[in-house]
C-alpha cells in the first residue's frame, strides 16, 4: 500500500566499527526491516533530523574538537526519498562541544542544536538549497544543579524542542534541572529568552521532551533519576506547569539505569520511555482530559542500552535501537492497551542511537 514504505535513517556512534549514518527500509504493512547499509560516512552522527519538506537531513558530529577548536559540527545532506541516497551539501561548526540533538523550525529556515558538553544552544540558518549558513546565534547556559555531582557540575543542554505552531524552543538542560524557554525569530535566526523556564526537582536531569497532540500537555523524561514529568501546556502563553512525576522503572527495582528517549503514540493515548540499564521501554496510558499518566507496564528491548526509538506514523509499530548490543528490534503496538510485542524482526548495526522514519516518495 502506498505510503507504508519508510526509509529509516540511523544515527550512530562510530567509535566501534561504524562509519556513519545508516539506512534501512521498513515496510509498515508487514513489519519487516531490511539490513542497514551505509548512507553517509560521518564521525559520531548521534542525532539526525529532517526539515519539514523531508528533502534535507541534518546530522550532528558529536565531538569536542572540530577543526582543532572546542566545537562539534552539523552536516547537511540532500535526501532522495526514492533511493534513500544522501548527498552531502556542507558542514558548519556548532561553536560548542558535544552536540547531541538537532531540530529544524517549521519553515525549514533554521537548525537548532543542543551542545551537551558545552551546555549551549546554537542556531544555524538554512539556505534555499538546504545547506547551512554559519551560526546566527549562540546561547551559553550558566550555573549548575550539583545534586548529582559527577553529572551536574555545569550546564548540559540535551535537547532543543520546538513548538512548530508558535516558534518557541524548549531546551532540556540536564545539568541545571531546568527546561529553558526561548522565542525563535526564524527570519533573523535569533533566540530570545521567553521567561518561561521550568525548574524540575533536584537531580532530575531532564533529557528529552514531547508535546501531546492535543497541544495542552507536554512531557519530559529525566535521565538521572529515571522519571517522567507531566506538564500542562498553555500554548497561547507558552507556559508549562508541572503536575505529576512518575517513575520510569518498575516498583522495587534497584539496579543502575538511566532514561533516554520519550515519545507519545500518534493517537495520543500512550507514552513510551526508554531505560538504559533496565533495558526496557516503559509504557504509560495518558488520561485524555488531565494528561496524567497511569502505569501500563514494561517491555524488554531485547538488547542493552536502548537509546532513541521511533514509532511508525500509524502507531502500529515501534522500532528500538539498542546501542550496546548493536541491534534494532521491531515491536508491534496494541493500540487498545499500548503494550508492545516483539515481532521477531531484528537487524544488526554498530552502536545505533537515533532512528528517523521518512515515507518514501
pLDDT tens for residues 215-244?
999 999 999 999 999 999 999 999 999 999
| Rounded Cα gap, residues 149 and 131, in angstroms | 40
| Rounded Cα gap, residues 48 and 9, in angstroms | 8
| Rounded Cα gap, residues 356 and 79, in angstroms | 13
| Rounded Cα gap, residues 102 and 123, in angstroms | 10
Backbone phi, psi, residue 34, to 5°: -80, 160
Q: Which of 210, 309, 297, 306 is nearest to 258 (CA)?
A: 306
Of the chain, the end-to-end C-alpha distance in Å amounts to 13
Q: Which of 201, 199, 106, 226 is nearest to 161 (CA)?
A: 106
pLDDT at 42: 98
pLDDT at 1: 36
pLDDT at 268: 98
The residue-averaged pLDDT of 8-25 equals 96
Q: pLDDT tens digits for 157-216?
A: 999 999 999 999 999 999 999 999 999 999 999 999 999 999 999 999 999 999 999 999
| Rounded Cα gap, residues 187 and 338, in angstroms | 41
pLDDT at 89: 98
pLDDT at 125: 98
CA torsion, ordered 282, 3, 5, 339, to nearest 10 deg: 20
pLDDT exceeding 70 applies to what percent of the chain? Answer: 99
Q: Is the pLDDT of residue 2 over 80?
A: no
The per-residue pLDDT of the chain, averaged, comes to 97
pLDDT exceeding 90 applies to what percent of the chain? Answer: 98
pLDDT at 303: 98
The residue-averaged pLDDT of 334-359 equals 98
Q: HEC states along 43-58?
A: CCCCCEEECCCCCEEE
The residue-averaged pLDDT of 132-160 equals 97
Q: Is the pLDDT of residue 3 over 70?
A: no
pLDDT at 306: 98
Amino acid at each position: 500500500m502506498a505510503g507504508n514504505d519508510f526509509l529509516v535513517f540511523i544515527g550512530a556512534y562510530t567509535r566501534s566499527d561504524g562509519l556513519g549514518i545508516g539506512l534501512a527500509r521498513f515496510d509498515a504493512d508487514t513489519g519487516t526491516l531490511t539490513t542497514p547499509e551505509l548512507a553517509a560516512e560521518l564521525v559520531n552522527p548521534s542525532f539526525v533530523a529532517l526539515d519539514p519538506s523531508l528533502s534535507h537531513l541534518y546530522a550532528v558530529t558529536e565531538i569536542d574538537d572540530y577543526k582543532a577548536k572546542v566545537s562539534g559540527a552539523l552536516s547537511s545532506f540532500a535526501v532522495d526519498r526514492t533511493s534513500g541516497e544522501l548527498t552531502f551539501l556542507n558542514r558548519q561548526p556548532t561553536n560548542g562541544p558535544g552536540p547531541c540533538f538537532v531540530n529544524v523550525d517549521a519553515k525549514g529556515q533554521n537548525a537548532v542544536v543542543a551542545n551537551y558538553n558545552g551546555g549551549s544552544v546554537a542556531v544555524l540558518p538554512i539556505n534555499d538549497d538546504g545547506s547551512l549558513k554559519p551560526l546566527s546565534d549562540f546561547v551559553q547556559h550558566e550555573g549548575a544543579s550539583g545534586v548529582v555531582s559527577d553529572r551536574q557540575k555545569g550546564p548540559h543542554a540535551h535537547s532543543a524542542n520546538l513548538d512548530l505552531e508558535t516558534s518557541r524552543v524548549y531546551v532540556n538542560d540536564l545539568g541545571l534541572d531546568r527546561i529553558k524557554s526561548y522565542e525563535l525569530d526564524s527570519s533573523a535566526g535569533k533566540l530570545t529568552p521567553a521567561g518561561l523556564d521550568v525548574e524540575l526537582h533536584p537531580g532530575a536531569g531532564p533529557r528529552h521532551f514531547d508535546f501531546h497532540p492535543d497541544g495542552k500537555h507536554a512531557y519530559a523524561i529525566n535521565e538521572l533519576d529515571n522519571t517522567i514529568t507531566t506538564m500542562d501546556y498553555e500554548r497561547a502563553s507558552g507556559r508549562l506547569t508541572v503536575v505529576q512525576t512518575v517513575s520510569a522503572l518498575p516498583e522495587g527495582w534497584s539496579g543502575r539505569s538511566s532514561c533516554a528517549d520519550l515519545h507519545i503514540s500518534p493517537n495520543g493515548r500512550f507514552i513510551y520511555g526508554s531505560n538504559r540499564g533496565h533495558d526496557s521501554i516503559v509504557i504509560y496510558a495518558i488520561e485524555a482530559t488531565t494528561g496524567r499518566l497511569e502505569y501500563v507496564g514494561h517491555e524488554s528491548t531485547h538488547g542493552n542500552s536502548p537509546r532513541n526509538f521511533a514509532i511508525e506514523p500509524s502507531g502500529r509499530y515501534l522500532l528500538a535501537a539498542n546501542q550496546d548490543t548493536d541491534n534494532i528490534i521491531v515491536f508491534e503496538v496494541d493500540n487498545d492497551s499500548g503494550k508492545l510485542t516483539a515481532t521477531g524482526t531484528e537487524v544488526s548495526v554498530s552502536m545505533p542511537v537515533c532512528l528517523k522514519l521518512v515515507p518514501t516518495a
